[in-house]
Amino acid sequence: MSKFEYPILSRADIIIILKQSQIAEVKEGDLKNPNPDFVADLYTRLLIHLDALHEYASLILSVESAKSVEKEYKGLKAKLSDGAVQDKSLEPKLVERQGKVEQLDKLRSQLEKERDLKFEESTKEFNNVKMEVESKRRNLEARQKKVEDVVAEVDAITSKMNMVKESGGVKVQELVGRCEEIDQQV
């Protein structure tokens, strides 16, 4: 595969990936006959998920950087305490690194708060969409019930019409028979 090609996935694979990634609960029918609202909602969820992944990756890089600085700080501190390094010229660098660690810790906590807020927003949006879909499903079920009732009523009327036709046909035959009898008598 070249760097410009994307893998072609089956609907089942797409559904599994969306579910495992906790992006959306999608059914095969949703992918076969997508409507604009469904596509817009899924696109929004994917963007939110990708944004969260991007922030998470940035957070990991910041944390790794902080760990690296902290490790370097501890190494320098250990050398100082062991008496291996007696040069006081390292002290300003140590203070600078400590400042960076503190700054990165603040950044990490800020990013965690932002991530939590976005997660809450996504959860609220998901719940709203879920309630809307449930409402539409109930409305469709009610409409289906009404259609079934109308079909049953039409079937009953058709059945009555057929019975009237049959009984009318029998009476017509009786009248034709009587007419022939009267015709023969006259």
Beta strands in 20-98, from DSSP E residues, in sequence order:
none
**Cα–Cα distance measured from residue 75 to residue 69, given in angstroms and rounded to the nearest whole number:** 10
Asked whether the predicted pLDDT for residue 63 surpasses 70, the reply is yes
Residue 82 has pLDDT above 70, yes or no: no
Same domain, 106 and 162: no
**Is 115 within a domain?**
yes
Q: 0.75 exceeded by the pTM?
A: no
Distance CA 33, CA 63 (A): 44
pLDDT at 177: 87
pLDDT 10s digits, 101-158: 999 999 999 999 999 999 999 899 889 988 999 999 999 999 999 999 999 999 999 9
Q: Which two tokens stand for residue 58?
A: 């940035």
43 with 126, same domain?
yes
Instruction: State whether 110 and 161 are in the same domain.
Output: no
CA distance 150 to 156: 10
Tokens linked to 168: 């009318």
24 backbone dihedrals φ, ψ, rounded to 5°: -160, 150
Give the range of the structural domain holding residue 70, as residue numbers without chain letter: 34-138
Same domain, 44 and 132: yes
Are residue 46 and residue 132 in the same domain, yes or no? yes
Helical spans, DSSP H, in 25-89: 28-32, 36-82
One domain for residues 153 and 186 = yes
